[in-house]
Amino acid sequence: MAFIVTESCIKCKHTDCVEVCPVDCFYEGPNFLVIHPDECIDCALCEPECPVDAIFSEDELPDDQIEFIEINAELSEVWPNITEQKTPLPECEEFEEVKEKKHLLER
């Protein structure tokens, strides 16, 4: 089982999670982060670091976020690896409480 980045991350892209990952399994897109499922070691260090609660263990994923298993797997194959914390997106505060942001995901 891997950890999955879900919809809450879209348009926020906090990278607190990246800083604590011991295996550097995060990948960065324009407005979203993903976790490579084959690289994640299930250590759970990233989950509590996310200020918008966007990271879940695959077996605890909310039903409405199941499609993000495939999204993380697909995009982690094409996006560049990120290993250091960066400044969140400028619009992050505006989008932290927004639900249903999948249509805003930039691939």
Return the domain boundaries, the chain. Answer: 3-85
* Cα–Cα distances in angstroms (integers) from residue 78 to residues 25, 39, 58, 75, 98, in the given order: 13, 14, 21, 5, 27
In CATH, the architecture of 3-85 is 2-Layer Sandwich (3.30)
Q: Give yes or no for a contact between 28 and 79, defined as CB atoms under 8 angstroms apart.
A: yes
The one-digit pLDDT tens for each residue of the chain (107 residues) are 899 999 999 999 999 999 999 999 999 999 999 999 999 999 999 999 999 999 999 999 999 999 999 999 999 999 999 999 999 999 999 999 999 999 999 99
Tell me what the pLDDT averaged over the chain comes to: 97
The confidence score (pLDDT) of residue 1 equals: 83
Q: Is the pTM of this model over 0.95?
A: yes
First to last CA, the chain: 24
The two tokens of residue 48 are 């509590």
